[in-house]
Amino acid sequence: MEFAELIKTPRVDGVVLHRPFMPTVEGTLCLTGHHLILSSRQDNTEELWLLHSNIDSIEKRFVGSLGTIIVKCKDLRVIQLDIPGMEECLNIASSIEALSTLDSVSLMYPFFYRPMFEVIEDGWNSFLPEDAFKDLESMTDEWRLSDVNKDFSVCPSYPPLVAVPKDIDDDTLRKAATFRHSGRFPVLSYYHKKNGMVMMRSGQPLTGTNGRRCKEDEKLINATLRPGKRGYIIDTRTINVAQQAKARGGGFESEANYPQWRRIHKALERYEHLLNLFDISFDVVISSMDRWLSKLEASSWQTHVKEILTTACLAAQCIDREGASVLVHGTEGTDSTLQVTSLAQIILDPACRTIRGFQGLVEREWLQAGHPFQQRCAQSAYSNSKPRQESPVFLLFLDCVWQILRQFPCSFEFSESFLVLLFEHAYASQFGTFLGNSTAERLSLPEKTVSLWSWVNRPQELERLTNPLYEANSLVIWPSVAPQSLLLWEGVFLRWNRSSRCLDEAYEEMVHIIEYNKELQNKVNSLRRQLAQLETEDPLLQTP
Amino acid sequence: MEHIRLPKVESVRLLDRVSPRRSRVGTLYLTATHTIFVENEAGVRNETWVLHSLVCSVEKQGASASGCPLVIHCKNFQVLHFVLPRERECHDVQLSLQRLSQPESYEELYCFSYKPNVDEEERRQEWDFLGLKADYSRMGLPNSLWKLSPVNRHYKVSDTYPADLFVPESATPPVIVGSSKFRSRGRFPTLSYYSKENHAAICRSSQPLSGFSARCLEDEQMLEAILRSNPRSDFMYVVDTRPKLNAIANRAAGKGYENEDNYSNIKFQFLGIENIHVMRNSQQKMLEVCELRSPSMSDFLEGLESSGWLKHIKAVLDAGIFIAKAVAEEGVSVLVHCSDGWDRTAQVCSVACVLLDPYYRTLRGLMVLIEKDWISFGHKFSHRCNHLVGDPKEVSPIIDQFLECVWQLMEQFPCAFEFNERFLITIHSHIYSCQYGNFIGNNQRERIELGLRERTHSLWSYLWTNQADYINPLYRPDHSQTQGLLRPSTAPYCFKFWRGLYNRFDRGMHPRQSVEDYLSAIQEETQQLEEQLASHKQKIAQLEQEQGWRSVTQKAVGFDKSPTAWARGNDLSLANTPQDYTGGFLTSSPCQPKTPDSSLILLPKDLNQTSESNLSNGSDQESGIADLSCRSPLSEDSTRDADSDEAAYSAA
């Protein structure tokens, strides 16, 4: 087995584990192909199981022969391991470094993981495009499911089946695809049942410097407009960035060629820039108030949350309030575009606020839509290596969902823990769901790995993720995007730097209040039935 | 009434701060006590009431073709932007309001004309609701270590102190009087809080008149007596809550701080809380940030940081923690002072009390605490809150900071407080409103002279009567968070901006569903269920016993579990209305039919209008999210309050 070569010292005794807000644990450190395990071999003491793929970077320090490894994880946790013996420490460190940066996907843990739970429903089949289309068909007959991309030749990052206007044939799609970045021709993202308006997404049009046009592309998107109606194109780039893209063959839809569309430019920065911002590595020792706020400000993470939410609200507003259809794109159409289209659906569509609906949304708008998870989530905040394709695009999306959840705490079926779970699994997981960058790359996964949804959609797990406050809310929910309304997502960013005991207790108290109420309702109902029965059995009562 | 130059102005516009296009037209009335804006829309009676005593500033801005803007800032952080048709009217309203909002004598204050419908007997009882004697006896006082001293009975020793004061058993009147002569304003060291578990006490005073070298034997004896009142401890802390530089500067004026060499067994400590002027400016800067129209995230965070407000809140809380830990963990007594001992000292002693004693985290306890460390010990409410026209340099949000410290603690310990945020905000509002007599004047002596107990109403009894509104559903007296000393984290990220207070009237900024109100409603329902359960059980037992002997006439009351049982309000427009996300791109206000002249709208007019109005009708009639944002605290008339809140949102 190849892993064995990478593990020079599989086991060290007398290792001490330090974690903030937790007692230190002394025990035996074991390295396996996929895990770093620390066990005290005593009952009642928590063992540490850490996936190597969760490790973002490590630091080594030596004091005499006592070595210390600081392990920084992608879920933002930082732990410290004191390892007696310099050689052992060096061996462990180099093994961790090697094992946490394996290049080959097929060596990843999901290919080795065997579920210890009973799979009730295979998550790989839970959210197929054809099933989603059936829902659409029940609402409108203006769309069809095209298999133009069945061999991924038209657009490598699209799924084999996409929803397109009924009157547009596959040839038109093929031609339109040549006019869009990475072949990402406009496809249906969301159908607003209330007024029949739609949201589409695509890559940027390849107009280039000489203003190329593509009749098929124009025909395709115009086919989504009702007679006499106009639509909005939301370009997630500023007009300047979009102008500059022309020099590299990209561009935007000109008024002349798309007279029925009004273009709006927003400033959702491209992902390269985002990476630096993710490093808000919250220093536990920051003691001065000023430094904290300026650090938070300098990270501009919150600025991004605000901009993304604002753009999503704008898209939702165009659809719901202006009664117009919308096309969203940035450059590739795989990052900020998906943030906007998926958040707009959370705002507009109550179904997306359920646990299952949200899984479906992540499947449709992120996984099947070709967000390159593997590239984006290869490293997170603590990585020392120079970023290439990494960017916390998906985490920003989850943060925005959390913001809406905070503002509408009773309108979501899931609780914050579901969002945290998705964040963790996007970066390191035993499940295959977030492996690869597109449907094409994931073709073999259903046979070889377990889907995250198989794990989530079991009663005990669903119960853990359910928001006890949930009451279905059929409305469009408009969040506030004022800076005062947007909070730092402590459940992710401060999770390991604070004691959450009091907040956890408050949560339990809340659950208790609700459960006690339900229990009483059941008791009262059953007593009422009993009473009714007694009353009917009472012969005197029947003769008034 | 003689100050009202113009009782009524028509065709006044009230602008919405967030989206100015969403303005409302109505009539502005000036009455003796309120400014009232009545919207002229057919079918709705939408009114905004603003108490004159809550008005902080009235600013007339440059007139334009559309009229003359008048901006009213209120002490409860409401901001109203009116546009009056003519400059003349605007000028008159401004002058009237300026005069009405800054009474020259106490007699003009609202509390003397506020007459709710209660008889005199009830009114008197309101004032008996809270007594400090009861709190001191709750602490176990007087006892063999601390006694009630009559020395200030006629306010002769210190005219800003209360009549009843606890001093160490061994402190004789000559020592007390001697010590008082060595302290600013005669505010000698006296007891604020006593821990009966370990005998440690929090005492408070003003700064000593030590200058560069002065000593006072009686003052030294007084501190010695305080130390001896804590038999298990061989030293005490003397805490100067000021920054060291400020204290040193005071020495030049013959004031200053204790010299450790002159007092036996004291440990001296500076706590570095800034003075009232710094705090006033800081809050002003923060409020400017809160008022920015559509600020970016950076504008907001940078502004918040440069205001320094959270830094000051942290300083106050840190100081409170220092004292609470000394008392609870070390069992050491603490003497706290600042300059006069009525601002920072009040803050720090009361914060320490909240941390130390679960009682002060209850509804009644917080009222008692404010009564004790703020009202009775002479926090100068009328000066600090600008109740009367006076020196603007005396105004400072010291009490705001205390309430905010409590709020920050509530955020960290959601189960530890019996009351909710609304309770703090209501108290805040009434500290400034002058509707109740509690906060009028600057010390006990003044309050007695004004006859407040005889002539006005008490807020505490009002709050107690309406306690259902102020209960935190997560509070349980037997919860572990409720017990003992609170040990908050003071990492900077634990300090949050208090949107609920400072942007209180920008209702669009608040969560659209309130977990707390949801849980309160559930608890209310649970209570009903418990009663039903008991009555069903009883009936069943009865029926079974009677075995058909007698008929049961009483039918079970059906219980309706409607999914929105918790929905108290019915204002759906807010939750269901998008904000201005467009930066002015989309011109139509989403809830109004589109104006035909809006050139940016691309759709053919006729089509657009039909579809649009259908749509907006449809969506505005949707329901499901009740508006549960905080209610108006002003108590007199609930329907009116609902209106004023409603109006305030659109105005904001």
Higher pLDDT, B262 or B559: B262
* Residues of chain B contacting A292 with CB distance shorter than 8 Å: 492-493
pLDDT tens figures, B365-398: 999 999 999 999 999 999 999 999 999 999 999 9
- The mean per-residue pLDDT over the stretch B60-67 comes to 89
Torsion of CA A193, A194, A197, A199, to 10 degrees: -60
When CB atoms are compared, the residue of B305, B494, B537 closest to A527 is: B537
pLDDT confidence band for B591 (50 / 70 / 90)? very low
Cα pseudo-dihedral A24, B410, A295, A300, rounded to 10:
120
Calpha distance A248→A207 (Å, rounded): 10
- Give the residue-averaged pLDDT of B618-647: 31
Establish whether B76 is an annotated binding residue.
Answer: no
The answer to whether B414 and B482 have CB atoms below 8 angstroms apart is: no
Contacts of A409 in chain B (CB under 8 A): 511, 513-515, 518
Q: What's the pLDDT at B564? A: 38
Contact: B479, A296; criterion CB under 8 Å: no
Q: What is the rounded average pLDDT for all residues in chain B?
A: 85
Does residue B478 register a pLDDT over 70? yes
The span from the CA of A199 to the CA of A184, in Å, is 15
Better pLDDT: A535 or B300: B300
Chain B segment 553-572 residues within 8 A of A by beta carbon are 556, 559, 561, 563-564
Q: In chain B, what's the furthest Cα-to-Cα distance?
A: 95
Model confidence band, residue B554 (pLDDT cutoffs 50, 70, 90)? very low
CB contact under 8 A, B552 and A480: no
Of A305, A318, A475, the CB nearest to B624: A475
Q: Give the closest residue to A177 by CA, choosing from A333, A338, A325, A324.
A: A333
Q: How many other CB atoms sit within 10 Å of the CB of residue A297?
A: 20
Q: What's the pLDDT at B42?
A: 72
Query: Which residues of A fall within a CB distance of 8 Å from B612?
Result: 322-323
> Which residues of chain A, if any, have pLDDT below 70?
1, 44, 270-290, 386-387, 538-544
Joined together, the tokens standing for residue A431 give 């499940």
Task: Report pLDDT digits (tens) over B497-510.
Answer: 999 999 999 888 99
- The Cα–Cα gap between B44 and B47 comes to 9
Amino acid identity, position A378: A
B585 touching chain A per CB within 8 A:
yes
User: Could you give the residue numbers annotated as active site of B?
Assistant: 338
Q: What is the arithmetic mean of pLDDT over B5-9?
A: 89
B530 and A CB contact within 8 Å: yes
pLDDT digits (tens, 9 = 90+) for A468-527: 999 999 999 999 999 999 999 999 988 887 888 999 999 999 999 999 999 999 999 999
Establish if B485 touches chain A: CB-CB under 8 angstroms.
no
Provide the angle, in degrees to the nearest 10, between the axes of the packed helices B421-433 and B398-412: 170
Q: What's the confidence (pLDDT) of residue B547?
A: 60
Our CA-based measurement puts residue B536 at a distance from the nearest CA of chain A, in whole angstroms, of 6
Chain B residues lying within 8 Å of A230, measured CB to CB:
602-603
- Model confidence over B408-444: pLDDT tens digits? 999 999 999 999 999 999 999 999 999 999 999 999 9
Question: Given pLDDT bands bounded at 50, 70 and 90, which one contains residue B611?
Answer: very low
Q: Is B344 annotated as a binding residue?
A: yes
Q: Check the annotation: does B128 bind a ligand.
A: no
Provide the ipTM.
0.93
* pLDDT tier at B593, thresholds 50, 70, 90: very low
Residue B557: band (very low, low, confident or very high) from pLDDT cuts 50, 70, 90:
very low
Contact B479 A509 (CB under 8 A): yes
Q: Which of A163-167, A362-366, B297-301, B609-613 has the lowest mean pLDDT?
A: B609-613
Helical H segments across B373-491, by residue range: 381-384, 398-412, 421-433, 444-450, 452-455, 459-465
Nearest CA in chain A to B623: A475
Query: B451 — alpha (psi -120 to 50), left (phi > 0) or beta?
Result: left
Instruction: Answer whether A321 sits within 8 Å of B513, measured CB to CB.
Output: no
Which of A520, A530, A518 lies closest to B556 in space, CA to CA?
A: A530
Give me the pLDDT at residue A158, please: 97
Chain A residues touching B473 at Cβ < 8 A: 513
Which residue from A minimizes the CA distance to B511? A407
Residue B566: per-residue pLDDT? 38
B512 is annotated as contributing to ligand binding: no
List, in order, residues 6 or more apart from B416 with CB less than 8 Å away: A502, B358, B361, B409, B410, B475, B479, B481, B482, B486
Are B467 and B423 in contact by the 8 Å Cβ rule? The answer is: no
C-beta atoms surrounding B289 within 10 Å:
22
Distance of CA A6 to the CA centre of its chain: 32
pLDDT value, residue A105: 86
Per-residue model confidence as pLDDT tens digits over B118-143: 999 999 999 999 999 999 999 999 99
**A487, A502, A541 ranked by CB distance to B414: nearest:** A502
The helix or strand, by DSSP H or E, that contains position B291, with its residue range, turns out to be: helix B276-291
Is the pLDDT confidence value at B401 over 90?
A: yes
B interface test, pick of A232, A499, A502 with most B CB neighbours within 10 Å: A502
What would you measure as the largest C-alpha separation in chain A, in angstroms? 96
Give the residue-averaged pLDDT of B211-240: 96
Whose structure tokens read 């197929």? A128
Using a CB-CB distance cutoff of 8 angstroms, which residues of chain B are in contact with residue A411?
513, 625
Across residues B87-108, what is the average pLDDT?
94
Which residue in the set A323, A411, A502 is minimally distant from B612, CB to CB? A323
- How far apart are alpha carbons A41 and B191 in whole angstroms? 54
Give the length of chain A.
544
pLDDT for B639: 32
Chains A and B form CB pairs within 8 A to the count of: 264
Give me the pLDDT at residue A500, please.
Answer: 87
Is B407 marked within a binding site?
no
Q: Kindly tell me the burial class for residue B213, based on how many C-beta atoms sit within 10 Å of its own C-beta (0-12, 13-18, 19 or more).
A: exposed
Nearest to B539 by CA among A544, A526, A527, A522: A527
Interface with chain A: mutation pick from B285, B289, B293, B301, highest number of A CBs within 10 Å = B301
Would you say B276 is a known binding-site residue? yes
Q: Does B477 touch chain A (CB under 8 A)?
A: no
Burial of B65 (0-12, 13-18, 19+ CB in 10 A): exposed
Substitution target in A480, A498, A508, A543 with the highest count of B β-carbons within 10 Å is A480
